[in-house]
């Protein structure tokens, strides 16, 4: 028969275990309730991921910035949010409010994270000294403005600094190495999927990035073209193209967007185009490539809803076309309509 002290010990152990579970659950509930109300804030905004206030910049870096904020500050007004989800109003400086962390590996500490990119105050001071486009100058006692455009400008310059990161992030993104970039940045932004504080958005970031990249590329192409009816060329460079395709495309007057290659083991062999593209523009692109020695084997419209723009010409590789004969200049010129 079990002795009474042993029974009391087991009872106390059981009660203690359930108390631990209860306290843990309550702490997690309190932490979650203090986070930004993602779904509610999204409903208040027309876009799931608000555009940047900054108007210029590299579309690949801009898409990355919006991806970072999708995980770090996914609310309708991300420039004014502090850690925990509360808002602040004074953007003349970093708010530097230390909010207690009640969940996760840093529980018990406090965080001054604020703004769209959740800068802690010390990191903001360091990076603002390096990259802020409007420093206080000789007035050393004046803070660096935390206005939205300056949050964007500092982060864009920081991510573009090859010497700081010891690599060219924009080039990695153009090569389709997003996961490598997210891993690189996870020491700074810990919710990007490779850090210590992943969240419900972390696993969706690659898909989110691709969506935002398309938006940023389309916006960049639209703003760079004075002719609203001018087609945009999208090209996926490959080593097998030996630079020939890109050189030929850059000789044309169309805005050109370079995208990470999806199929890298075949040379470019196909052209796709969307609904509003003038057939003569399609022929001009095809003829330019053929004259440069590129073996184009298919020219056809996109399948329905496959293009992000109705004024898009895409140059890439299609494995299904590899066994076809290459089109000749005469064939391209004599064709009145390209079909699927």
SS3 sequence, 208-239?
HHHHHHHHHHHHHHHHHCCCCCCCEEEECCCH
**CA gyration radius, the chain:** 26
Give tens-digit pLDDT for 146-159.
Answer: 999 999 999 999 99
> ∠ at Cα 205 (201, 211), nearest 5°?
120
Nearest alpha-carbon partner for 96 in 117, 74, 73, 115: 115
Question: DSSP alpha helices (H): ranges in the chain?
Answer: 4-33, 38-44, 59-72, 121-131, 148-159, 162-165, 169-174, 178-185, 205-224, 244-250, 279-291, 329-334
Is residue 192 pLDDT above 50, yes or no? yes
- Position 184 scores a pLDDT of 97
- Position 31 scores a pLDDT of 43
- Give the strand pairing for 110-111 and 232-235: unpaired
Confidence of residue 102 (pLDDT cuts 50, 70, 90): confident
Buried b (16+ CB within 10 A) or exposed e, 46-65: eeebbebebeebbbbbbbbb
Domain boundaries, the chain: 34-216, 227-334
Question: Which region holds residue 65: left if phi is over 0, alpha if psi is between -120 and 50, else beta?
Answer: alpha
Give tens-digit pLDDT for 33-70.
Answer: 444 443 334 333 334 799 999 988 888 999 999 999 99
Nearest alpha-carbon partner for 217 in 236, 202, 204: 236
State in Å, rounded, how far the first CA of the chain is from the last one: 84
Fold for 34-216, please state it.
Lysozyme (1.10.530)
Is residue 256 pLDDT above 90, yes or no? no
- Position 195 scores a pLDDT of 83
Confidence of residue 306 (pLDDT cuts 50, 70, 90): low
Average pLDDT value over all residues in the chain? 85
Distance of alpha carbon 130 from alpha carbon 124, whole angstroms: 10
Distance of alpha carbon 101 from alpha carbon 108, whole angstroms: 6
Percent of the chain with pLDDT over 70: 80
Three-state DSSP class for residue 184 = helix
Across 276-295, average pLDDT: 96
43-47, 91-95, 190-194: least confidently modelled range: 43-47
Is residue 228 pLDDT above 80, yes or no? no
Three-state DSSP class for residue 303 = coil
- Position 310 scores a pLDDT of 77
Is residue 11 pLDDT above 50, yes or no? yes
Is residue 269 pLDDT above 80, yes or no? yes
Instruction: Tell me which residue has tokens 């924009």.
Output: 170
Distance of alpha carbon 139 from alpha carbon 334, whole angstroms: 70
- CATH of region 227-334: 3.30.70
Confidence of residue 259 (pLDDT cuts 50, 70, 90): confident
Retrieve residue 63's tokens.
Answer: 């898409």
More confident residue, 307 or 271: 271
Rounded to the nearest 10 degrees, the angle between the axes of helix 59-72 and helix 148-159 is 120
Confidence of residue 133 (pLDDT cuts 50, 70, 90): very high
Distance of alpha carbon 165 from alpha carbon 172, whole angstroms: 12
Give tens-digit pLDDT for 318-331.
Answer: 999 999 999 999 99
Cβ 8 vs Cβ 41: under 8 Å: no
Confidence of residue 16 (pLDDT cuts 50, 70, 90): low
Instruction: Tell me which residue has tokens 């523009």.
Output: 281
Q: What is the DSSP string of 243-292?
A: THHHHHHHTSSS-EEE---S--SS---EEEE-TT--HHHHHHHHHHHHHT
Cβ 307 vs Cβ 314: under 8 Å: yes
């Amino acid at each position: 028969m079990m002795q009474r002290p042993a029974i009391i010990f087991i009872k106390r152990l059981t009660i203690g275990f359930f108390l631990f579970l209860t306290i843990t659950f309550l702490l997690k509930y309190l932490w979650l309730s203090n986070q930004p109300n993602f779904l509610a804030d999204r409903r208040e905004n027309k876009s799931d991921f608000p555009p940047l206030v900054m108007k210029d910049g590299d579309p690949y870096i801009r898409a990355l910035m919006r991806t970072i904020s999708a995980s770090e500050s996914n609310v309708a007004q991300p420039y004014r949010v502090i850690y925990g989800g509360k808002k602040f109003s004074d953007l003349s400086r970093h708010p530097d409010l230390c909010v207690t962390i009640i969940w996760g590996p840093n529980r018990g500490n406090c965080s001054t994270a604020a703004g769209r990119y959740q800068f802690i105050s010390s990191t903001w001071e360091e990076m603002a000294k390096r990259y802020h486009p409007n420093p206080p100058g000789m007035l050393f006692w004046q803070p660096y403005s935390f206005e939205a455009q300056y949050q964007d400008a500092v982060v864009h310059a920081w991510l573009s600094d090859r010497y700081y990161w010891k690599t060219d992030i924009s080039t990695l993104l153009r090569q389709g190495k997003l996961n490598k970039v997210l891993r690189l940045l996870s020491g700074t932004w810990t919710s990007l999927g490779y850090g210590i504080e992943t969240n419900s958005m972390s696993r969706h970031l690659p898909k989110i990035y691709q969506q935002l990249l398309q938006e940023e590329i389309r916006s960049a192409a639209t703003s760079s073209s004075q002719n609203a009816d001018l087609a945009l060329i999208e090209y996926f460079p490959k080593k097998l193209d030996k630079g020939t395709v890109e050189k030929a495309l850059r000789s044309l007057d169309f805005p050109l967007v370079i995208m990470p290659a999806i199929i890298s083991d075949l040379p470019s062999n196909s052209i796709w185009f969307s609904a509003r593209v003038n057939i003569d523009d399609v022929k001009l692109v095809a003829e330019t490539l053929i004259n440069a020695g590129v073996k184009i084997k298919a020219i056809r419209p996109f399948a329905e809803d496959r293009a992000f723009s109705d004024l898009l010409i895409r140059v890439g590789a299609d494995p299904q076309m590899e066994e076809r004969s290459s089109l000749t200049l005469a064939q391209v010129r004599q064709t009145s309509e390209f079909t699927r």
